[in-house]
Amino acid sequence: MARVELNRVRKSFGDVEVIKGIDLDVQHGEFCVFVGPSGCGKSTLLRMISGLEPISGGDIVIGDEVVNRIPAADRGLAMVFQSYALYPHMTVRQNLSFGLENTQTPKAEIRETVDRVARMLQIDMLLDRRPKDLSGGQRQRVAIGRAVVREPRVFLFDEPLSNLDAELRVDMRKEITALHRRLQNTMIYVTHDQVEAMTMADKIAVLRQGELEQFGRPLDLYNRPRNLFVAGFIGSPKMNFLSGRIEDAALRLDSGETLSLPATGFDLSEGRAVTLGVRPNHLDIAEGGPLPLTVSSVEQLGGESYVYGALSDGTDLTLHLSGQVGAEVGETLHIAPRGDEIHLFDSDTGLSLRRD
Amino acid sequence: MLTILNPLMRIVEIPMLALQRLLGINRLAWAFLLPNLVLFGLFAFLPVILNVFYATTGSDNVLLEARPYIGARNFESLTDCGNYLDANTCREDKFWRAVFNTIWFVTLQVGIMVGFALLTAVILNRDIRARGFFRSVFFFPVLLSPVVVALIWKWILQREGVLNAFLDWTGAGGINWLVDAGWAFGWSVFISVWAHMGFYTLILLAGLQAIPRDVYEAAEMDGASAWRTFRRITLPLLSPTMLVVLVLALIKGVQTFDEIYAFTGGGPGTATTFIIQYIYERGFAGAPRLFGLAAAASLLVAGVLVLLTLAQLWANRRNVDG
C-alpha cells in the first residue's frame, strides 16, 4: 500500500517559509492534484515528497515508512519533470533503461520491460531515436515511460503538460488518466491549471502561499468551497463575488439591492459583513430579478453565451447562459441567482458561512 | 535619434552609391572585407606561404631571391635517421630529441592538466563555501606572463631557492632541482600545468554549468550513484567542451616555449628542449642561421597538429553519432 501522508511538513529557504506546515493524506491508488497560483509552493511540496528538496520540519510518510532521511532514489518514486529532463545524449531505449540499469536488473528483463512499456505508450518505433529528434508530445511520452518502467510506488508529475500546445494537452490529459486507471498507482500531479485539476483528480489539494486551503474531491471543492480563495480559484469562468451585510435575515448589497437568503444552511448573524459568491452559470435573466446589470459585452458561442456587465456600484458580474441570448450592449438586464446555488463567506475571514 | 542620423547617412550614402555603381553589388562585399583580409593575409596567410618557400630553399641568407631552391632537402635532413626511436642515429639529433621531449611533455602535461582541470571544475561547480574566491585563485596564474611564471618558480626551485631552504630547515636536505634532468623535466610539466590549468578549468566549468540541473535530478530519481551520474551523464554531456579543451591544450602544449625557455633554457643538456625551442634556435639563435631547416620543422609541426585535431574531431563525431 503506497499512501502518502504529510504531517505538518514545512520548508524554509533562509528566513522565508515557503511551506507552512501542511497536513495531507493521499490514499493508495488515488490521483491527487496539487493546484494553486504560481509561487504557492506546489512544486516545492512535490519536490519535498520526491526527496530532491530536503524538508525543514514535519514528517513525510510513504507506505508505512517515514522517508524524511531516505534519499530520493530509495523512496520508490518516479517523477515526470516539466522540462521532461530526458538524457539528451541517450536514445529513447537508453533513457528508459537507465533507471533499471542502476538497480542491476538483468539485461533481458530490462529489454522486455522497456519494450512492453514502449508499446503501451506507443513509442516503440522511436526507441532508437534521441530526444532532439522527437516532437514535444513524443518527449512527454518518453518522460512518462521512463517513470513507468521503474514500477514506482508513487508517480510524481511536475506540471508535465505545460510545454505542450492546447490540443496535445487535452490528449495527454486523457492518456495520463487512462494510465492511472490501468496502473492503479498512487499519483501526485502538480498543475496551475484548474481545468486539468478538475478533469484528472480524484482529490485536489488547493495551495496558496505555502498553506493548504482545501483538500477534497473536485466536485466538493466546486460545490462547497471552504473559503473565498478556493471559490475563486476553482471553476471557470470565475465565481462572481458581491459584498454586503446581513440585515433582517436578508442580504443588503453594497450596491443597494436586497436579496432574500435561504432560511437554513448558513450562519446569518445580524449585521455581519458577508460576501456572496455565485457562479456565472447560476445566474439567470429574470423578469423582476433583484440585480440590475448594465451589459458591457456579450459573447455568443452558439450553444452557450457569456454576458459581462456591472451593477450600479461598479461590481463586475459574468453570466454563463446556455443557448443564445438577445442581450445588447448598454441594455440593463434584471438577473437573479438561483436560490440554492449561492455561497456566503465572512468578508473578514474569507471563510464559508455554510453550516455543515 | 533618427533625425540626427538621417543627414549623416545621406552623406555616407553618396560615395557608397557611387562605389556600388562602379563595382557592382556583389563586388562591394569584397570592398568591405578588404581591410580585414589585408591584415589577415599579411600577418597570417603570407607567413605560411613564405614558410613553404624558406623550407624548400637553402643558405643562411634571409632574402628569398638569394636562396637557392633545394627541394625537399631540408625535410630529408630532418628525417634522416638510422633508427627513429634513437635520436643519436639521426642527422638532426637535436630535432629528434626535441620531438621526443615534446611528445613526452605534451602527453604528461595535457593528461595531468585536463584531468586536474576537470576535477577542479567539478568541485568548483558544487555549492562549496567561498566558491568565487577559489574560482579566482585557480584562474590567477593564467593572468601571469610566461616569463614571470618562469621567474617565480626559478626563485623557488634554484639551488639556493625557497624550496631547498625549507627542505634544509626540515633536515631533509635540498636537491639541485634544475640540474637533474629528470627533476627539471618534471618541474617543467608541473609549472606548465600550474600556469595554464585555470584557463581550462574555466572552460570546463562553463560546460558543466550548461548541463541542465533537472537532468541530474532525473538521474537522482533514477537511482544513479554519484560515480555513475558522472560517467553516464556528466562526461558525455561535457564531451563537446572536453574536445575543445583537448584540442586547445594539445596545440598550446606543442607550442610550449617561452616559459620553459626562461625557466630552464632547455637544459640541463637538452632535457627540456622542446620543438619550438629547436625551431627558434636553428632559425634565429645559432650560427649559421638555418632558416630553411627551421621552416621545414615548423611545417612538420603544423602538419602533425592538423592531423591530431582532425583525428579528435572525427573521434568526437563518431562518439556523438554512434
- Judge if A122 and A32 occupy the same domain: yes
ipTM of the complex: 0.83
Tell me which residue range forms the domain holding B287: 93-321
A353 within a domain of the structure (yes/no): no
Mutate to test the interface with A, among B221, B234, B235, B321 (most CBs of A within 10 A): B221
- Judge if A287 and A325 occupy the same domain: yes
- Judge if A44 and A17 occupy the same domain: yes
Phi-psi region of B277 (alpha: psi -120 to 50; beta: other; left: phi over 0): alpha
B274 within a domain of the structure (yes/no): yes
Span B41-83, pLDDT tens digits: 999 899 889 888 888 887 877 787 878 888 888 888 888 877 7
B20 within a domain of the structure (yes/no): no
3-class DSSP state of A23 = strand
Cell output for B161: 631557492
Domain count of the fold of chain B? 1
A355 within a domain of the structure (yes/no): no
Kind of pairing, strands A273-278 and A240-247?
antiparallel
Sign of the four-CA dihedral B128, B132, B133, B139: positive
- Judge if A92 and A225 occupy the same domain: yes
Kindly report the CATH number assigned to the domain that includes residue B305. 1.10.3720.10
**Do A72 and B220 count as a contact with CB atoms less than 8 A apart?**
yes
Domain count of the fold of chain A? 2
| Domain boundary residue, one of A179, A214, A232 | A232
**Do A52 and B217 count as a contact with CB atoms less than 8 A apart?**
yes
Instruction: Report chain B's mean pLDDT, rounded to a whole number.
Output: 86
Span A323-335, pLDDT tens digits: 998 888 999 999 9
Kindly report the CATH number assigned to the domain that includes residue A326. 2.40.50.140
**Do A83 and B228 count as a contact with CB atoms less than 8 A apart?**
no
Kindly report the CATH number assigned to the domain that includes residue A69. 3.40.50.300
pLDDT band at B2 (very low <50, low <70, confident <90, very high): low
Beta bridge partners of A10: A20, A57
- Judge if A14 and A73 occupy the same domain: yes
In the block, cell 636562396 appears at B67
B99 within a domain of the structure (yes/no): yes
B138 within a domain of the structure (yes/no): yes
B246 within a domain of the structure (yes/no): yes
Q: B240: nearest CA in chain A?
A: A89
Tell me which residue range forms the domain holding A72: 4-232
Span A21-53, pLDDT tens digits: 999 999 999 999 999 998 898 999 999 999 999
Measured CB to CB, residues of chain B less than 8 Å from chain A are 212, 214-215, 217-225, 228, 232-233, 236-237, 320
Higher pLDDT, A232 or B3: A232
- Judge if A110 and A183 occupy the same domain: yes
Q: How far apart are the first and last CA of chain B?
A: 54
- Judge if A249 and A102 occupy the same domain: no
| Domain boundary residue, one of A207, A232, A257 | A232
In the block, cell 609549472 appears at B191
B155 within a domain of the structure (yes/no): yes
